[in-house]
Structure 1
Amino acid sequence: MFADLAFLLYVGHLIADYPLQTDHQAECKAGPGVKGWTANASHASTHVVVCALLLALGSTVLGWRLPLLPTLAAVLWIGATHAVIDRRWPVAAWMRLARQSTWAANGGAAHVDQTAHIAALLVAALFLSA
């Protein structure tokens, strides 16, 4: 069940992060003030909705019996971690700590960002599998 959950959550992540993310969200989600936080919250909410829908679909098609509260906790975890990671400072801080400033300057931050998101998804999948 873990592999199925992880795969569905990963597909949900890709759908929410690429085809469903608006230009406004992508440009403003790490910005200051209400504009930045609103863009960030709407983007993270998209992740919550898409992942919840895919978990419901998986439950229906594959016959899972996912308990409501843990499932709710998992999708909220996905939304919250996505929002924090997308503020960009955690990725920048990690890359400074890991002494990856050259890689950061040459596009590496996007890879570290996606790795952080996938790690959070795997935590959710492990939690739901337990």
Structure 2
Amino acid sequence: MFADLAFLLYLGHLLADYPLQTDHQAAHKALPGRVGWLAAIDHAATHVVCGVLLVLGAAVLGWRLPVLPALAALLWIGATHAFIDRRWPVLAWMRLAHQESWAAHGGAAHVDQTAHIAALVVAALCLSA
């Protein structure tokens, strides 16, 4: 069940991060203050597609996902996504890991996606436990 959950959550993440993310969200989610947080939260809300895929998976594959843990997993995905997408956490990590040169040459996008996938794996592990 873990692999199915992880795959569906990853697919939901890709859908929310690319075809469902608006230009406004992408341009403003890392801005300081209220404007940035609102854009980040708005973008994180598009990850409701992960919930749609969980419902679909439950219907097609016969899962019996408890509602409260599933809602907690979706909240976790949205909250971690909004936090990671503020960009400063990724850049702070890359400074700590002595990756400033890689960050300056496009590496931050890879670290960003890795952090998102790590959060999805945590959600999938908790739901499959």
Measured against the shorter chain, the TM-score band is over 0.9
Deviation at 1:11, TM superposition (A): 0.1
Deviations 1:51-101 (A, max 9, x none): 110000000010000000000000000000000000011100100000001
Please tell me the root mean square deviation across aligned C-alpha atoms, in Å.
0.6
**What amino acid is aligned across from residue 103 of structure 2 in structure 1?**
A
How much identity, in percent, do the aligned residues show? 78
Aligned equivalents of 2:101, 2:32: Cα separation in 1: 26
Partner of 2:52: 53
Alignment of 1:1-130 (within 5 A): 1-47=1-47, 49-130=48-129
Deviation at 1:33, TM superposition (A): 2.5
Q: What TM-score, normalized by structure 2, do the two folds share?
A: 0.98
Aligned equivalents of 2:123, 2:93: Cα separation in 1: 22
Aligned equivalents of 2:82, 2:37: Cα separation in 1: 9
The aligned length equals 129
Q: What TM-score, normalized by structure 1, do the two folds share?
A: 0.98
